[in-house]
Amino acid sequence: MKQFIEYSNEVQHAMYRNIPIVALESTIISHGMPYPQNVETAKHCEQIIRDHGCVPATIAILNGKLKIGLSNEELDYLGKTGLKITKTSRRDIAYNVANKIDGATTVSATMFISALAGISVFATGGIGGVHRGAESTMDISADLEELAETNVIVVSAGAKSILDIGLTLEYLETKGVEVIGYQTDMLPAFYSRESDFKVNFRIDTAREIASVFQVKQALKLRGGMLIANPVPEKFSMKKEVIDEAINNAIIEMEELGIKGKETTPYLLGKVVELTKGKSLETNIELVYNNCKVASLISKQLISL
C-alpha cells in the first residue's frame, strides 16, 4: 500500500501524535468554483480546521499517488488547471493511479481514500445523490453507495439542491445510512437552510455525534454517517429564489444535451450566473461552516 499513498508532513505528524484530522475533497477546487476563488476557499478551509485544533488533509491523485494533504503549490495547480483535471470517483481511482492521471477526488473517492488512511471525518459542501429524472436515466451518484459502505463521518450542507432530494433520502434509507441534523430537525438543501424533508435524528453536540459513530463501529455496522449542517442563516438563500434558478438551469442543460458527470459542474456554474454570484458566496460560506463542525466532531472522536 505504501507505494500508492503519500502523506504530507503535516498529516504524517498528526497521525504520529494522535492529533485530530479532517479530510477535504479536491473536486470542489477543480470543478466547483472559478479560479482564484477555488484556491482561496481551499486554503481558508484548511486554516479553519487548523484554527479549531485539527489538521486538514486535502485529498487528490497526483503523479500516480493518493495524496493525503496537499502543499500550497499543489492546491494552486488544481485550481489553475480546473476542469482539465480529471474528476475522479471511486470507479476511476485504480485506473488513474496506474496511468498517473491527475485526479480531483469526489465525495466517494475522498471517503474511500480517507478510510484507507484511517481518517474518520470528512468535510465537504454537499453530497451527490439521485438526479432529477433518475427513474429513466438511472443517474445516481456513487457518493450514496460509498456512504453505505465506508466508515467515515461526512459533514455537508445536505444534498446538492440540483438533485432530487426526496429520492436521495429514500436511497440512503434503503442503504441504512443515518442522516443526522446538526442542531436542526430539517434537512438543509445546500443553498437553503430549509427543505421539505426531515432528518432521521437531530443531534445538538459534536460529542454526541462522535459517540454515536463510535457505537456504530463497535457494533460493526458498516457504512458512514451523513451530518446535515445548515448554512449559517445570514448566507442562506430563499428557497423559491434558488429553486427558480435551478429549474431554469436544468431546462437549458437539457436543451444543450449535457449528461452524466458533466451535469453537476454545469448546473452549479449556471446557478451562479443566474443568481448573479449569490449562490457562489453561499457555497463558500457553507463549506467553511462544515469545516468548523467537522473539526469539532474530529476532536471529540479522538478524545472518546
- The one-letter amino acid at 249: A
CB atoms within 10 A of CB 90: 21
- E strand segments, the chain: 5-7, 21-24, 55-62, 65-68, 86-88, 103-105, 121-123, 153-156, 178-182, 201-203, 225-228
**CA–CA dist 277, 295 (Å, integer):** 28
**CA–CA dist 280, 136 (Å, integer):** 30
**CA–CA dist 151, 172 (Å, integer):** 14
**CA–CA dist 58, 251 (Å, integer):** 34
Q: What b-and-e string marks burial along 6-26, b requiring 16 or more CB atoms within 10 Å of the CB?
A: bbbebbeebbeeebbbbbbbb
Catalytic residue among 10, 25, 74, 146: 25
Residue 140, CB-side half-sphere exposure with 13 Å CA sphere: 15
Active site residue 25: yes
CB atoms within 10 A of CB 304: 10
Catalytic residue among 10, 46, 149, 160: 160
Active site residue 285: no
Whether the Cβ atoms of residue 100 and residue 65 lie closer than 8 Å to each other:
no
Whether the Cβ atoms of residue 128 and residue 96 lie closer than 8 Å to each other:
no
CB atoms within 10 A of CB 106: 29
Show which residues are catalytic: 25, 160
